[in-house]
Structure 1
Amino acid sequence: MRLLNFSPRFSISVFVLSAVVLVTFSSYFIDDNIWGTNHKLDPASRVPKKGPGKPPIFAYWLSGTQGEGKMIFRLLKAVYHPRNRYLLHLDAGCTAHERNELARLVLSERIFQAFSNVDVVGKAYAVDRSGSSVVAATLHGAAVLLKIWDDWDWFITLSASDYPVVTQDDLLYAFTSLPRDLNFIDHTSELGWNEPERFGKIIVDPNLYMNNNMKYFLASETRPTPAAFRIFTGSPWVILSRSFMKHCIYSSDNLPRKLLMYFTNVAYAAESYFQTVICNSPEFQNTTVNNDLRYFVWENPPTLEPLLLNQSNYKAMVKSGAAFARRFMENDPVLKKVDDLILRRKPNGVAFGKWYLGPDPNCKGLGSDVGSICGDIDVIEPRSTGKKLRKRIAKVISDERLVACKSM
């Protein structure tokens, strides 16, 4: 694991843990900026193989705020697979102690150390999830993941209140045969009441320039609907291709930056920024799949957040064929049910996968408590949930026939 501190200029500095942690874990500096841990496994066994027929690699951005450190850690274990890449961030609503505790928990897991694919952002910054600072945070997460690893295929955003309803073997299986440029992003150009209420008003998100989390405030002026581009909106939870994330961050096209400036003053910018960029970019318009693969339950009429899920939603959640669901309260009994029946995850363990089948005293170098991680991380074992998800994705793609973003 690396503990990453980022200055406003995107430099990475060493995040210093307590002397106890440094003594407990054998560590070394990978370079001048990134702190890592020493490993005893053969490095070749930790590198995912890529190519035709091989499973993809997911890059996860897991974000949370005050009181959500343990939820983020539980979510990490639920979506963990050695092939994937993980970046964790607790915003400025958390104390330094909570952030350090999350880092300590990650460092304490020998599996994470063995594959060195989990990192923590060491320096927090303010985020308002109803403002534009959450878009800045998401772009920052993608940029860091691209800087550390450039081998992943899809970027997945999850919050502390999300949870998977399939194993990673299932998800990897469902995505193995897909073109790697597809983007799973819920979108529509029918703004309705949103047009004057959300896009006509000008907001200021102080989290872009303050150290502590703050609520956005409204300016007295209003503005007309843009004529230079068409606004699209949808779910803020996305599965985006590496090529599209590179377009948003590095592209020589000015559109991603121009839209970033515009959405700086739009409420709930995370529900519109990526949708508007992708649907106004000719090279990506035909890569959209209008589905975020999430399960929600909404009030009627819908409110700003979906309803909290519980055990009464379990059957519908599994039947939906979704990959993830939200929102959950911490330690809700339905999460244990998902762990037991779907993920086959022990209270302190990671979810089931072909690579990890339980304790194995013959797994040398890391101890018998780590489990059977000596197997092939490129081999996956889908179950009925994975096959169902694959069929659902195929049907969604077939129904849409990958037409360009359109008025809905």
Structure 2
Amino acid sequence: MGAEKKWLFTLFSVVFLSVFLLLLYSISAFTSKPFPSAIRHGAHYPPAFAYYITGGRGDNNRIFRLLLAVYHPRNRYLLHLGADATDAERLSLLSDLKSVPAVNAFGNVDVLGKVDRLSDNGASKIAATLHAVSILLKLDRTWNWFVELSALDYPLITQDDLSHVFASVNKSVNFIDHTSDLAWKESQRIKPIVVDPALYLARRTQLFTATEKRPTPDAFKVFTGSPWTVLSRSFLEYCIFGWDNLPRILLMYFNNVILSEECYFHTVICNAPEFTNTTVNGDLRYMIWDSPPKMEPHFLTVADFDQMAQSGAAFARQFKRDDPVLDMVDREILKRGRFRVTPGAWCSSHGSWWTDPCSEWDDVNVVKAGPQAKKLDETITNFLDDLNSQTNQCK
């Protein structure tokens, strides 16, 4: 009899557990939201951002992680996995995207299908960025600012924080680090004539450099600065549609300049009278450079976390793959679980170790600022003070 009682107890336990799990599944299926809430735009709603996220061979997981970190239903995303990536990596990225409930419901993430080859220092990068802007404008013209990130970048604030702070910023403002003091760049970057073979060759090769140099332009003033920017939609529409010929003239010129992504937008905006007074001289990035600076900033580590978190920057660069400091940012700043989007006011599910808080949602037009918003707001306020005084614009 003892053996029979144990057998019956085991049977009843299994049945009870099965019924309990079935009940949980039924409740979840009943309460889940298969349709997205309405996304509204305008003066009374938070701003939206268009993200262009790039990476190369082996970066599919990093791109996916970065997307989750900066995801919000109100934004638009275009992912660019370089031509050197494998088909397996592309399929893996697409599979990962399909696993995110919000991405499936809101349909605001696209992956660039036909990608062009890029040279590290050539004009093909500018061509790719302009291509991305064109696609994002065609897909959705309700976003307000364009942000380009690479697989080496990571956010230091939530999208709720970013939208909350930018809600008080004039939508024509452009955050672009710039200067006309070319210094050594004039002789080493501006005067040399280069050709980017990625624009016309299927295989990747080094830039071709001419033996002759050309004089510094006097028909326009050359500006240079950080390639990492936050640009307004109105300015980028000007660059794409160009109701005067300046954007095209400068594109032709910078086609033969080394690292043209450090000059093109900077020179266009500072030579276009209607946009000159929209520039904020900063890129909203946290980076640590050598002195004098090298080609790339230091890789950030756990030792840099405290200073990075207090910096008031929106994004940081650069990080090694799966560095522990990224887990610290997820845990301490973004409050993001592994393989989950950064939670915001739009998420309505009660999160746990087995439930994604953003698998269900309420009104996506509501944002709630967190503690990092105050730091970013101070940074933005200081930049806008410079903008209003016009002491640090296009000089």
Q: Same fold by TM (over 0.5)?
A: yes
- Aligned-residue offset at 1:369: 5.1
1:208 equivalent in alignment to 2:195: no
CA 1:359–1:198 in structure 2 vs 1: closer, same or farther (change >3 Å)? same
Helix, strand or coil at the partner of 2:273: coil
1:376 matched to which residue of 2? 363
Helix, strand or coil at the partner of 1:381: coil
- Aligned-residue offset at 1:357: 5.0
- Aligned-residue offset at 1:406: 4.7
Q: Give the counterpart letter for 1:126 in structure 2.
A: R
Kept in 2: contact 1:99–1:122 (CA 8 A): no
Query: Within 1, Cα distance between the matches of 2:360 and 2:101?
Result: 10
1:52 equivalent in alignment to 2:77: no
Helix, strand or coil at the partner of 2:120: coil
Kept in 1: contact 2:290–2:297 (CA 8 A): yes
CA 1:236–1:85 in structure 2 vs 1: closer, same or farther (change >3 Å)? same
CA 1:407–1:395 in structure 2 vs 1: closer, same or farther (change >3 Å)? closer
1:87 matched to which residue of 2? 78
Helix, strand or coil at the partner of 2:274: coil
Query: Within 1, Cα distance between the matches of 2:83 and 2:129?
Result: 15
Residue-pair matches, total:
363
1:177 matched to which residue of 2? 168
Q: Give the counterpart letter for 1:59 in structure 2.
A: A
User: Could you list the per-position Cα deviations for residues 106-136 of structure 1 after superposition, in whole angstroms to 9, with x for gaps in the alignment?
Assistant: 1232220111100000122101231110000
Give ranges in structure 2 of 5+ residues lacking alignment: 1-31
1:136 matched to which residue of 2? 127
Kept in 2: contact 1:286–1:402 (CA 8 A): no
1:153 matched to which residue of 2? 144
2:374 matched to which residue of 1? 387
Kept in 2: contact 1:85–1:152 (CA 8 A): yes
CA 1:180–1:407 in structure 2 vs 1: closer, same or farther (change >3 Å)? closer
- Aligned-residue offset at 1:214: 2.9
Query: Within 1, Cα distance between the matches of 2:204 and 2:388?
Result: 42
Query: Within 1, Cα distance between the matches of 2:287 and 2:139?
Result: 33
Select between 91-100 and 71-80 the one with higher mean Cα deviation. 91-100
1:72 equivalent in alignment to 2:63: yes
Query: Within 2, Cα distance between the matches of 1:318 and 1:369?
Result: 25
Query: Within 2, Cα distance between the matches of 1:102 and 1:212?
Result: 24
- Aligned-residue offset at 1:177: 1.1
Residues 3-402 of structure 1: pairs in structure 2 closer than 5 A: 41-42=34-35, 45=37, 47-356=38-347, 358-359=349-350, 371-401=358-388
Q: Give the counterpart letter for 2:48 in structure 1.
A: I
- Aligned-residue offset at 1:359: 4.5
Query: Within 2, Cα distance between the matches of 1:285 and 1:305?
Result: 28
User: Could you list the per-position Cα deviations for residues 185-241 of structure 1 after superposition, in whole angstroms to 9, with x for gaps in the alignment?
Assistant: 000000001101101101111111122333322111210001111000000011000
Query: Within 2, Cα distance between the matches of 1:103 and 1:211?
Result: 25
- Aligned-residue offset at 1:52: 2.2
Helix, strand or coil at the partner of 1:298: coil
Query: Within 2, Cα distance between the matches of 1:103 and 1:167?
Result: 24
Kept in 2: contact 1:126–1:214 (CA 8 A): no
Query: Within 2, Cα distance between the matches of 1:281 and 1:369?
Result: 47
Aligned residues: CA RMSD: 1.9
CA 1:316–1:257 in structure 2 vs 1: closer, same or farther (change >3 Å)? same
Q: Give the counterpart letter for 2:47 in structure 1.
A: P
Query: Within 2, Cα distance between the matches of 1:110 and 1:213?
Result: 37
- Aligned-residue offset at 1:150: 0.9
Helix, strand or coil at the partner of 2:51: strand
Helix, strand or coil at the partner of 1:401: helix
Kept in 2: contact 1:309–1:326 (CA 8 A): yes
- Aligned-residue offset at 1:252: 2.0
- Aligned-residue offset at 1:54: 1.5
CA 1:369–1:392 in structure 2 vs 1: closer, same or farther (change >3 Å)? closer
User: Could you list the per-position Cα deviations for residues 362-397 of structure 1 after superposition, in whole angstroms to 9, with x for gaps in the alignment?
Assistant: xxxxx9657453311011110121122112201211
Helix, strand or coil at the partner of 1:61: strand
Helix, strand or coil at the partner of 2:62: helix
Kept in 1: contact 2:75–2:143 (CA 8 A): yes
Kept in 1: contact 2:277–2:387 (CA 8 A): no
Helix, strand or coil at the partner of 2:146: strand
Query: Within 2, Cα distance between the matches of 1:77 and 1:91?
Result: 19
- Aligned-residue offset at 1:40: 7.1
Kept in 2: contact 1:234–1:275 (CA 8 A): yes
- Aligned-residue offset at 1:404: 8.0
Query: Within 2, Cα distance between the matches of 1:154 and 1:259?
Result: 22
Query: Within 1, Cα distance between the matches of 2:203 and 2:52?
Result: 21
User: Could you list the per-position Cα deviations for residues 227-278 of structure 1 after superposition, in whole angstroms to 9, with x for gaps in the alignment?
Assistant: 1110000000110000001000012211101100101110110000000000
User: Could you list the per-position Cα deviations for residues 267-295 of structure 1 after superposition, in whole angstroms to 9, with x for gaps in the alignment?
Assistant: 11000000000000001000000011000
CA 1:41–1:309 in structure 2 vs 1: closer, same or farther (change >3 Å)? same
CA 1:101–1:213 in structure 2 vs 1: closer, same or farther (change >3 Å)? farther
TM-score (normalizing by structure 2): 0.88
Query: Within 1, Cα distance between the matches of 2:81 and 2:272?
Result: 32
TM-score (normalizing by structure 1): 0.85
Runs of 4 or more consecutive aligned structure 1 residues displaced over 6 Å after TM superposition: none
